[in-house]
Amino acid sequence: MSNENLIYDIALMSTAGIGPVTFYKLIKKYGSSKEALNFQKNTDALSEAERIIKLAQKKDITILSYMDKEYPILLKELNDAPPVLYLKGRTDLLNYPANIAIVGARNASLIGRKIASRLAYDLTNADVLVISGLARGIDASAHKGALYAKNQNGPTIAVLGTGVDVCYPSENQETYNQILIQGTVISEYPPETEANIQNFPRRNRIISALSNGVTVVEASLNSGSLITAHLALEQNKEIFAVPASPFENRSAGSNKLIKEGAVLTESAEDILNVLAFTQNRILRANPNANLNAKKLDNDKKTVIIREKEEKLTSPDILKCIGSNGLEQDELIRTLKRAPSEVMSELTELEFEGLIVRKSGSFISLTKEGLKKIS
């Protein structure tokens, strides 16, 4: 679309009192964002739009209008789809044919974070794109699991409630930086938009809309993750939930979803079993899908998820790393195991606080890790 039209789209969305629903109503009434803005007589909005475009160019941020061919086709199905999307990273992931959102508690347990990471890791290796919101807890763990997949080159999409140039929370800065390299960060909010509590529930509709299904790992009855799941139900998406202890409040929501008919999910294979039946329908319905992505293979998915070799134990790896540390490639050669298996275990050890990854691919033990081998 022309730069002129993009300016008017941004300007109209910058006008007070105009959200996505009103935006589309005005377009229908006046025929274009330019004519709608002329009716609003808001000259300040044009200046703001020009500022946003210049800022985006300076920060290497891509701006997509709802009319652009790269705009996600699944997102267009929303009646309140963002008229303008801002993104950093890869644009080729926006119409990926198989996508799963993984969401859950911010105050997640260690086992919950490990489950989210493992699900994301296995799904990414099976060519399913993982989408989440970069929040602390389950979201961050899902992104990390995806990034570690495919020999630490796995893609993932993070949908933010801030501008795409603002990492929130700041503790996820390293993960955010890696997503910019391997995946995509998107938002409906202009650059430099800081964290606002009202923005995060709204971004949940984008997470669910971009996905073919939503997986919930640990969620209380009033959590934003349940909002995402209910939005996905309204959008006719698949719902998956990981069961957990009935005595944990942060698991009450995910357990409730299972009671209501969500797919009980214990491994990525449970998700792949459902997606394998629906993927052909998804590809037919989405003419802009990335057809270069591999289709799910029913005969191989079990091999992808469960290695035939005996699972590595934490002590094996910790002893190999030793007190002096070790390069990742050297560790894999020493253990004589599949790289995917070793990297998956390293991810779990990192979440447990037993190892740290330093510059490059060097791995060393933490104080807790040293205690395990002493």
Q: Does residue 25 lie in a domain region? A: yes
Q: Does residue 83 lie in a domain region? A: no
Same domain, 159 and 293: yes
**What angle, rounded to 10 degrees, do the helices at 199-210 and 224-234 form?**
40
Same domain, 193 and 339: no
Same domain, 33 and 147: no
What tens digit of pLDDT does each residue of 80-108 get?
Answer: 999 999 999 999 999 998 999 999 999 99
Q: Does residue 72 lie in a domain region? A: no
CATH number for the domain that contains residue 291: 3.40.50.450
On whether the CB atoms of residues 190 and 163 are closer than 8 A, the answer is yes
Q: What angle do CA 224, 239, 108 make, to 5 degrees?
A: 45
pLDDT < 50 regions, the chain: 1-2, 280-295, 298-311
Which pLDDT value is given to residue 352? 75
CA 200 to chain CA mean position, Å: 14
Same domain, 30 and 147: no
Q: Does residue 66 lie in a domain region? A: no
Which pLDDT value is given to residue 277? 54
Same domain, 197 and 123: yes
Q: What angle do CA 166, 179, 76 make, to 5 degrees?
A: 80
Same domain, 147 and 291: yes
Same domain, 48 and 121: no
CATH number for the domain that contains residue 321: 1.10.10.10
14 exposure class (CB count in 10 Å sphere: 0-12, 13-18, 19+):
buried
Q: Does residue 227 lie in a domain region? A: yes
Q: What is the extent of the structural domain holding 207?
A: 99-301
Sheet with 84-89: strands ordered across? 62-65, 84-89, 184-187, 156-159, 129-132, 99-104, 213-217, 238-241, 263-264
**What angle, rounded to 10 degrees, do the helices at 314-321 and 328-335 form?**
120
Same domain, 258 and 366: no
On whether the CB atoms of residues 265 and 271 are closer than 8 A, the answer is yes
pTM, to two decimals: 0.79
Same domain, 157 and 241: yes
Which pLDDT value is given to residue 294? 43
Q: Does residue 191 lie in a domain region? A: yes
Q: Does residue 85 lie in a domain region? A: no
Same domain, 240 and 327: no
Q: Does residue 121 lie in a domain region? A: yes
> What is the number of domains present in the chain?
3
Same domain, 105 and 222: yes
